Amino acid sequence: MKRIAALLGVAVSSVSRWTRDIALTPAQQHALNQANPRFNGQLSGQIGRSRSARAIRVIAQNEGRCRAQRAEPLHVQGCMLYWAEGSKRRNTAVLTNSDPDLLKLFVAFLRRCYGVSDQKMALTVNCHLGNGLDLAEIQSYWLEQLELPASCLRKTSVNRPSSASALRRGNVLPYGTARVSVCSVHIVQSIYGAIQEYAGIERPEWLD
């Protein structure tokens, strides 16, 4: 519109009114974008950042593959556990379960194999109330089981069951479930690389 206004010697607002009902084809829009230095600069920046982020994930997966060759028992256990129960996110290691022993193993795996401090772990509880335990008792249970400080605790999700729900039948987990998460591209991608090495598989979708 600026170019048209300059050629005709009119205001840009006039050109805007004249052209507002004109729909551009995808090819025309692409041609305009290619001729726009600002758009091209932003696009190049996005592509560059995307490539850099992918390169970091590739390095982490390769490190995980190398570590898997040492076959350390706890590392094998933690990776196989994560393959079975972990959330397959790209940038965060997340595992949710109702079994405290299973989560203890995952926490030990993070601490000893990846040097994760307690301050970097987030603990989120999901539970029902009305089963003889209050919220503080349920939260304390998980903190004690996993030997985590209260600072790791995030907002608890409390389910409100209907009268026909499993809670009325006494068929619920008294302590609910707990989710342990660590926000780290390196850790989760290293785990993915190790899983592929241990199992002799390729999962490119974990990288991209």
pLDDT tens sequence across 179-191: 999 999 999 999 9
pLDDT reading at 167 higher than 50: no
More confident residue, 41 or 169: 41
Distance CA 75, CA 66 (A): 12
Tell me how far CA of residue 102 lies from CA of 20, 106, 107, in angstroms.
61, 7, 9
pTM, to two decimals: 0.72
Beta bridge partners of 3: none
Q: How many CA atoms lie within 13 A of 195 on its CB side?
A: 21
| CA angle centred on 189, ends 122 and 66, rounded to 5° | 125
- What are the extents of the domains in the chain? 48-206
pLDDT reading at 70 higher than 90: yes
pLDDT reading at 163 higher than 60: no
Q: Say if CB 138 and CB 127 are below 8 A apart.
A: yes
Q: pLDDT averaged over the chain?
A: 88
Q: Say if CB 127 and CB 159 are below 8 A apart.
A: yes
Q: Say if CB 103 and CB 95 are below 8 A apart.
A: yes
Contacts of residue 100, defined as CB under 8 A and 6 or more positions apart, other chains included, come to 142, 145, 146, 175, 178
Q: What pLDDT score does 2 carry?
A: 83
Beta bridge partners of 180: 95, 123
Distance CA 24, CA 79 (A): 51
